[in-house]
Structure formats: C-alpha cells, structure tokens
Amino acid sequence: MALTDEQRSEIEAVRAAPNQTVRPTVPAMEALLFEPFPLLDHGFIRVVDYMGDDSAVVQAARVSYGKGTRKTSEDAGLIRYLMRHRHSTPFEMCEIKFHVKLPLFVARQWIRHRMASVNEYSARYSVLDREFYLPDATQIAAQSKVNNQGRGETLSAETAAEVLSILQRDALQCYGDYEQLLDPEGLGVARELARINLTLNTYTQWYWKIDLHNLMHFLALRSDPHAQYEIRVYAQKMIEILKAWVPHTAQAFEDYRLGAYSFSAGMLKVLRRRLAGESVTQETSGLTKREWAEMQAVLEG
C-alpha cells in the first residue's frame, strides 16, 4: 500500500488528538477511525467519519428521545423486524464517510450506486501517481461461458504470466507518455487532456459518504459472488467495518439479505405444488430454464 511518511504522520496525529463529544459513539469504530486497510496491490479503505449507531436506528423507528429503559434484546428485535420487512428510513439516519483508493475501472462500477456523496481526486488539478493495478495470477481467467459479464476458468500459469506482462507493459508505456505530455519543458499538454491517455487500472482516490440503508444495498450487490472480484474485496472489508459500527444491524443484514433468497410468485407456486406431493419439472413449472436453475441452486445449496 502506497502511503507516504507524511500521510502516515497525518493519520497518526489525527488519531492521537483528544476529542470530546456528547453524541453517541461506538468504541469499536473509534478504534479503527482513520486507519487505512490495504486492499488489492496499492488500494486501501479507511473510515473518516460516522454518525449514529444501532440505537439511532431504533430511536428513529420509535421516534423516541433517548435509549430509554428497553433491553438490548428488544432493540435487536426491532432492528430485525425493520430489516425483515424492508423498512428503510430508520437506517437512513446513520451515515458513514470513507476515504477509498481504488483502480479506475472499479471506481466506474462503484459510482453506479448514486445515492451517495462523492468527491474524487482531480486529475485536472493534480498529477496522478504512477500506480496501477495488476491482478494476481490466480485472478486471471477466461470469459465465462454462462455469465456474459464474468470470469470463467482460471488460465494456465504461462498464459497468466503473458497477460500480466501485457498489462504491465501497457500501463508503464501509457504512464510514460502521460509524463511526456505533461512535461512543461516538452509538449506541455494540459493535465485535463494528458490524463485521457491513462489506462483503466490506474489508481484514483475519493471520499464517499453514504447512509446506512444505501450502504447495505451497495454491499448486498457488490459482495455477491457474481460481482467482480476487485470490487468484492472492498465490499467484504466494508462488511467487517459494518459489524464494528452497527453489530445488530449487521447481523440482521446477514440473516435477511446476504444469507437469504427471494422467491418469485412463480417459484412459490412450484414449492407449494411440491409440498402438496406433486412432481414438478422445469417443463411443467411455468418457470424459464434460468429461473428453474436459480431456484434449484438455492434449494439444493
């Protein structure tokens, strides 16, 4: 992970500075606040700030003034009810802000989740670092034959080495050209133009602030096994952070979202017919082949 000594000193200074507040805080979050967690080869994620906790979700749902006298188990039960019945606004009362360093192609996937506030490092104003993502050889795979937007079988070690060589060669060449374009003693091209020559595996950084409800939506999609590996790495680390921040909400999220499956009306009809003793095949189910396969995968799991 490429953190400069100056950046590390800044982080240590902020972490060491005493702060007093009367707002609710979470000890587990206070312990990891500002700490960068390395991801991929040059990336990281760190929590810059947060607002609210599990009790804030409960407070919003009950429209109460404080924690009151209810037991923690009652609060957890309410959170599970809210999650189970897909109530969203109580979870929107909590927010979190991340500082993320990630490859450009991951950022382009990430930014599709629009319910967040984002401020990205400006390559019009500053020069991007000479850092680019190179996948591990175990992550270099052929195009999937069943998923048009995913990977299939891992390529041989020899082929993976050739792929890595091409990726590294092109990234180095493009960054070298980028420097040549920027050179004030040479071509002297404007930064906003020179940047268009960079490869999509170049690293960028941003601050990303989002509420808890939309964060969980992001995590449900981007931690799914069908999501691209590189963005899953970030999502999985964020789930760990979620557990530290709002443990009751995180548990309900795992039980009712990550570990659950929604059946369509047609799938429920098939299940009822099976429970009644009827033998149902894909041809007699009324489901498409893909729906049938998805249902079978969950049931046989």
16 vs 4: CA distance, rounded Å: 18
DSSP state string for 190-209: -HHHHGGGS-TTBEEEEEEE
Is 222 known to be catalytic? yes
246 vs 116: CA distance, rounded Å: 19
25 vs 284: CA distance, rounded Å: 56
Instruction: Look at residue 265 and give its three-state secondary structure.
Output: helix
Nearest Cα to 134, choosing from 101, 100, 166, 89? 166
Residue 128 main-chain phi, psi, to 5 deg: -70, 145
Helices (H), ranges, the chain = 5-16, 27-32, 54-62, 72-84, 104-110, 157-182, 191-194, 212-222, 229-245, 247-253, 265-275, 282-285, 289-300
Q: Are 152 and 141 in contact (CB under 8 A)?
A: yes
Both tokens of 49, joined, read 């700030």
Active-site pick, 222, 232, 257, 290: 222
Catalytic residue list: 222
